[in-house]
A and B are shown apart, each in its own frame.
Chain A
């Protein structure tokens, strides 16, 4: 069960109406290494992972939803008052035809989100290694978006989200160490 706090994890400020940037940001919304994939991946894997790291997956999976909400806010603000003409110019003509200004879980190229983006092998090491890779890929995606964005306020929020990816990767790496340690200990019996 969750408690909802009616505020964002980190403030989201957008300087200008820029639907082009929204198109790129959708990658972190409904893309393979986006926040939705991350949240669902961890909150699903946690059932079949050793007890010691369940809490970590729950906590990080929950935080990913907070990130998803931030990304949603960014995309919404960037496109909110864009005219159909502006949407078209930004490469969002097809999106507008299908969704108007609504958000949709898809990647920057318009492919809808799919469960094939996430895996659950049931092997704790395999799953945690996937999680580490997912965090590094999300970190890289943030870098590429920051490189393309010239909105200082938006970049401030994106830099926060990028730093969180670094921390999550660190914690997953520690989870692997915990599981390695447990395995060694059994040999003394």
Chain B
């Protein structure tokens, strides 16, 4: 399943001076997966497209990525 964010858990050493960030995440926007865009995909209404920055729902990647329902922040 496509997710716009991937996370991993970096090593934290016993003598690392800063409080640990247990989970590090990076963005993986949809353009990494789409390949050559197929014809006749769904489009946003014009006003919404101008606001969002793209005509194509399949390429819309809000940032910061909204937290999915029931997911942790």
A binds B: yes
- Which residues of A approach B to under 8 Å, CB–CB? 10, 139-140, 142-143, 146-147, 159-164, 166-167, 169-170, 173-174, 177
CB closest chain-A residue, reference B58: A170
Q: Which of B36, B60, B64 contacts A163 (CB 8 A)?
A: B60
Once bound together, how far apart are the Cα atoms of A167 and B37, in whole Å? 11
Count B-side interface residues using an 8 Å CB cutoff. Answer: 20
Say whether, besides A143-B63, A166-B59, A173 and B31 are in contact (CB < 8 Å): yes
Please tell me if B53 contacts chain A, counting CB pairs below 8 Å: yes
CB closest chain-B residue, reference A142: B63
Main secondary structure of the interface of A (DSSP, over half): helix
- Which residues does chain B contribute within 8 Å of A173, judged by CB atoms? 31, 35
Once bound together, how far apart are the Cα atoms of A162 and B60, in whole Å? 10
CB distance from A4 to the nearest CB of B (A): 19
Q: Which of B30, B36, B61 contacts A177 (CB 8 A)?
A: B36
Question: A163 contacts B52, CB within 8 Å?
Answer: yes
Question: A166 contacts B30, CB within 8 Å?
Answer: yes
Question: B35 contacts A167, CB within 8 Å?
Answer: no
Once bound together, how far apart are the Cα atoms of A10 and B31, in whole Å? 22
- Which residues does chain B contribute within 8 Å of A170, judged by CB atoms? 30-31, 34, 37, 59
Q: A163-B52, A163-B61 are in contact. List 14 more A-B contacts (CB 8 A).
A: A10-B50, A10-B53, A139-B27, A139-B29, A143-B63, A161-B53, A162-B53, A162-B63, A163-B60, A164-B53, A166-B30, A166-B31, A174-B36, A177-B35
Once bound together, how far apart are the Cα atoms of A162 and B63, in whole Å? 8
19 A-B residue pairings within 8 Å (CB atoms): A140-B27, A143-B27, A146-B63, A146-B64, A159-B62, A160-B53, A163-B54, A163-B61, A164-B53, A164-B54, A166-B54, A166-B59, A167-B54, A167-B59, A169-B29, A169-B31, A170-B34, A170-B59, A174-B36
CB closest chain-B residue, reference A140: B27
- Which residues does chain B contribute within 8 Å of A166, judged by CB atoms? 29-31, 54, 59, 61
CB closest chain-A residue, reference B51: A160
Once bound together, how far apart are the Cα atoms of A174 and B34, in whole Å? 10
- Which residues does chain A contribute within 8 Å of B54, judged by CB atoms? 163-164, 166-167
CB distance from A135 to the nearest CB of B (A): 9
